[in-house]
Structure 1
Amino acid sequence: MKRLTQQLKRKRIWIALALLAFIYFNNCSWLSDPPQGSPFLLAHRGMSQTFPMEGIMNDTCTAERIYEPEHPYLENTIASMDAAFKEGAAVVEFDVQPTLDGRFVVFHDWTLDCRTNGSGVTREHTVSEMQALDIGYGYTADGGKTHPFRGKGIGMMPTLDEVLSTFPDHEFLIHMKSDDPAEGLLLAQYLRKLPSSRLQQLTVYGGDNPVASAKASIPELRAMSKSTMIRFVLTYAAIGWTGYVPDSLRHSQVHIPEKIAPWLWGWPNRFMTRMTDADVRVIMVGGDGTEFSSGFDTPEDVRQRIPAAYTGGIWTNRIDRIAPLFPKEAP
């Protein structure tokens, strides 16, 4: 009996060692060939005025704390998107807000008071009212002594229609700023009218409820929210070591904070190969996932914080600074 117990114990040890060896070699990045291709750049809000990230809250008026302007572009405008694409962005992110007349304007804030010469809740205004505003009114780099964009942003707030028609062949990440499921349904109603080829160029993200309602209305839509991110990480942590990517994670988008990325099975080579095979678009963002819109905004950020073999998307607030590090695709 004692001998049999010892044999079973040794068998369990060998099984455990074999399993550990399988996990190691199946997820050892350095034993895997680097995936083919180069990273692509995602320009957050196009070319925009940036600001210190310290102490940012949901209700912080960032227009009142911008750095001294280095370029003439304002976020979420046609001009800023055009500049970002010309710099080398593969994808441009922009924000949408529903209007009182059932359309969408491209604008960041829940209210108008911070950036514009208007006031009140954004969605309680019509498109014509919104487009009559000066969207550069509130920007200041010196505590309100000067306003370098005041008077220059009149009529520059585009509609979703105008953005997509101006850039018919470009890819976008569309951000819904509320957690209202009705907003997701309204956006899905608009997107359903687009050809499938155009829909494939668009990704939607935002609050759990609007994203879920948009995804339920358009199952083939690439979409992402906090809940889908958590589900992705937990699911991949549980079974990703096998190399298998379940259908529930396929054809999706995931934003991976740089401090979490090294803990993912097979990071970076095997992980990126698996995600490519599963049609999962990976965007690498800065920090640990708790920071607001943290990205890679200097050449040093890219060189020091992104693996050389990484081939996914890179989130940046300064496309003008990091695009020169990457070759532009031929037209």
Structure 2
Amino acid sequence: MIIYAHTEVLILNLKKFIKRFLFFIVLLTLFIFFNNSSIFTKDRSGDPILLAHRGLAQTFPLEGITGETCTAEIIYEPEHAYLENTVPSMEAAFAHGADIVELDVHPTKDGEFAVFHDWNLECRTDGEGVTREHTMAELKQLDVGYGYTADNGETYPFRGKGVGLMPTLGEVLKTFPDKQLLIHIKSNDANEGVQLANYLAKYPKLENVAVYGGDLPIERLKEEMPQMRVMSKETLKSCLIPYLAVGWTGYMPDACKNTQLHIPETYARILWGYPQKFLNRMDAVDTRVILVAGNGNWSEGFDQVSDLERLPKNYNGGIWTNRVDVISQVPGIFTE
């Protein structure tokens, strides 16, 4: 009888534990749901933030490209007259409604920073060699439209039209002192981060400037300029991995504060609170969120009107685009 009574007590205690545990799980589930659901979150107002990749550029098919592909040789039939990473292309992007323009930079032999995408000159220009192994004066003599063709080399519609159009970073900063710019460091050289920090320090208005690139230069630049909004693969991981672990509580990791997040749409849905609460949380810590099309490979953007249909309802975070001239004209979103 004693054994039977003891067993009965154990069973009763186990049942109580299971009930309490299940009750806890239900409460936890409800907390996670309501703390991260956008159902009861007030709709965000305003249009999405448009980030124009390389200004207003010639575009090309992304299928099959690699890091060695000369994309100037495979452009679509031109629909506008602008060349990427030039001041006219940036002016056109802002005129079409871009909120931010992204640009690429390389240091030069004479201490400047050239605004140009490619590591080598042969693809787009009539020059030869590594971009950063030239002086700015030499780069200014090149035709940045020389290599573009949409018909396998039968015609070159921009040849002769890009002479002298490669700007310095300083020229861009002076031309757009009140516009938002995203500077892309093209290397993983730590010294380049220090060099860029020293270069930027000469300019008084930097509140609208952000920088992204390799882990090492971004780390060094952040050390030199702690208030600068920056991004690298390492800063992304430092923010998003802890956020995925504890973000359901509403806690914001320090690495997510005052930074930039480029998030492929394929993975955005797994982020706690996405879209509305996630964006609200990032706004609260002065972090800019840019949604990149697809899985984030090869700077895929929201470039066609149909691409915008994939955006969440009332989404007004940032979106990456290679055709700001196309999507900014969508009625009801960016125009009346």
Q: CA deviation at 1:226?
A: 1.2
The equivalent residue for 2:281 is: 274
The equivalent residue for 1:320 is: 325
1:66-108 CA-to-partner distances (Å, cap 9, x unmatched) read: 1111111000001000000000001000100110111101000
CA root-mean-square deviation: 1.3
Q: CA deviation at 1:163?
A: 0.5
In the alignment, the residues of structure 2 paired with residue 279 and residue 255 of structure 1 have an alpha-carbon distance, to the nearest angstrom, of: 14
Q: Does 1:237 align with 2:244?
A: yes
The equivalent residue for 2:294 is: 287
Letter in 2 for 1:237: L
Among residues 128, 133, 139, which one is paired with 2:137 in the alignment?
Answer: 128
The equivalent residue for 1:296 is: 302
Among residues 10, 29, 35, which one is paired with 1:26 in the alignment?
Answer: 35
In the alignment, the residues of structure 2 paired with residue 15 and residue 193 of structure 1 have an alpha-carbon distance, to the nearest angstrom, of: 57
Q: Does 1:159 align with 2:165?
A: no
1:2-47 CA-to-partner distances (Å, cap 9, x unmatched) read: 1223222222221121111100111111221112332111100111
Contact 2:180 2:209 in 1 (8 A): yes
The equivalent residue for 1:116 is: 125
The equivalent residue for 2:6 is: none
Q: Does 1:305 align with 2:310?
A: yes
Q: CA deviation at 1:249?
A: 1.0
Letter in 2 for 1:295: G
TM-score by length of 2: 0.94
Worse-superposed segment, 37-46 or 128-137: 37-46
Q: Does 1:96 align with 2:105?
A: yes
Q: Does 1:59 align with 2:68?
A: yes
In the alignment, the residues of structure 1 paired with residue 279 and residue 82 of structure 2 have an alpha-carbon distance, to the nearest angstrom, of: 34
Unaligned runs of 5+ in 2: 1-8
Among residues 207, 213, 225, which one is paired with 1:218 in the alignment?
Answer: 225
In the alignment, the residues of structure 1 paired with residue 174 and residue 214 of structure 2 have an alpha-carbon distance, to the nearest angstrom, of: 26
Q: CA deviation at 1:324?
A: 1.2
Among residues 29, 47, 52, which one is paired with 1:38 in the alignment?
Answer: 47
Contact 2:96 2:328 in 1 (8 A): yes
TM-score by length of 1: 0.95
In the alignment, the residues of structure 2 paired with residue 37 and residue 321 of structure 1 have an alpha-carbon distance, to the nearest angstrom, of: 19
Q: CA deviation at 1:233?
A: 1.9
Contact 2:239 2:253 in 1 (8 A): no
In the alignment, the residues of structure 2 paired with residue 54 and residue 296 of structure 1 have an alpha-carbon distance, to the nearest angstrom, of: 16
1:84-137 CA-to-partner distances (Å, cap 9, x unmatched) read: 000000100010011011110100011111111110011110000000011111
Letter in 1 for 2:167: P
Unaligned runs of 5+ in 1: none
In the alignment, the residues of structure 2 paired with residue 306 and residue 233 of structure 1 have an alpha-carbon distance, to the nearest angstrom, of: 21
Q: Does 1:79 align with 2:85?
A: no
In the alignment, the residues of structure 2 paired with residue 215 and residue 40 of structure 1 have an alpha-carbon distance, to the nearest angstrom, of: 24
Identity of aligned residues (%): 54
C-alpha spacing 1:238/1:173, structure 2 compared with 1 (3 Å): same
1:242-277 CA-to-partner distances (Å, cap 9, x unmatched) read: 112122211111011111111111111111111111
Larger radius of gyration: 2
- Partner secondary structure for residue 93 of structure 1: strand
Letter in 1 for 2:302: F
